[in-house]
């Protein structure tokens, strides 16, 4: 299993990534702005129910990959760094002028399942789990339990981070509507976080 130092690094890296707004955060913030705090928190629960699916898939997929070829596993880890760099560059050069969209009011049950589907059917989430989690795995020990543990930590931190987004968005609903400058600053900040994490993983001894 990962040692305490590895877990601490994973938690720090995870928190850095969770604050980067992606499709899930956009969904949560939009729902919180449109329907309030309760709707945002229900959406968070749905999103991370979907995260469980990705964690299980990553545990099975990465374990199978390592069993097939240690070299292939290393390639996945290298591609993970490349993917983080790609996300960082794309976020920095991205020009986003879209405003938050007003949504129809839905029941809490529907909000939960919409959040679940948003996350499960997002191919970027699956790719990201496969690219990110292996960076913190010790291949000298069974991989699946390590992935499961790291995934569980990810989900707990995700619930806390996304829950904070939901609460903040519902409290600042008026100010969050239509701020292009704020979105641009978020894009640049997000890109720098991705690039920094990619550089760290590229130079770390894993």
pLDDT of residue 97: 47
What is the pLDDT, as a whole number, of residue 168?
86
C-alpha to C-alpha distances, 25 to 40, 54, 69, 70, nearest whole angstrom = 10, 17, 35, 35
Q: Cα separation of 80 and 74, whole Å?
A: 10
Q: Are 115 and 47 in contact (CB under 8 A)?
A: yes
Domain ranges (residues) in the chain: 4-203
What is the per-residue pLDDT for 25? 79
Which structure tokens are listed for 135?
């960076």
Q: What is the pLDDT of residue 129?
A: 78
**Per-run averaged pLDDT (10 residues), the chain, 206 residues:** 80 80 74 82 92 85 63 66 72 59 67 84 71 78 85 92 88 61 59 65 59
Instruction: Give the CA distances from residue 23 to residues 19, 26, 28, in Å, rounded to whole numbers and listed in that order.
Output: 12, 5, 9
Which pLDDT belongs to residue 201? Answer: 59
């Amino acid at each position: 299993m990962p040692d305490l130092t590895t877990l601490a690094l994973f938690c720090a890296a995870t928190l850095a990534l969770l604050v980067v707004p992606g499709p899930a955060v956009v969904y949560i913030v939009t729902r919180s702005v449109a329907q309030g705090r309760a709707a945002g928190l229900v959406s968070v629960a749905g999103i991370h129910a979907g995260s469980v699916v990705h964690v299980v898939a990553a545990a099975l997929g990465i374990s199978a990959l390592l069993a097939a070829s240690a070299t292939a596993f290393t390639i996945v880890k290298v591609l993970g760094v490349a993917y983080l760099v790609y996300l960082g560059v794309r976020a920095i050069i991205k020009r986003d002028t879209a405003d938050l969209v007003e949504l129809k009011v839905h029941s809490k049950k529907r909000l939960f399942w919409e959040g679940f589907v948003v996350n499960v059917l997002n191919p970027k989430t699956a790719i990201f789990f496969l690219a990110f989690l292996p960076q913190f795995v010790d291949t000298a020990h069974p991989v699946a339990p390590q992935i499961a543990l790291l995934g569980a930590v990810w989900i707990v931190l995700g619930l806390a981070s996304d829950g904070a987004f939901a609460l903040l968005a519902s409290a600042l609903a008026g100010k969050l509507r239509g701020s292009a400058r704020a979105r641009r600053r978020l894009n640049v900040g997000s890109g720098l976080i991705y690039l920094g994490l990619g550089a760290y993983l590229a130079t770390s001894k894993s």
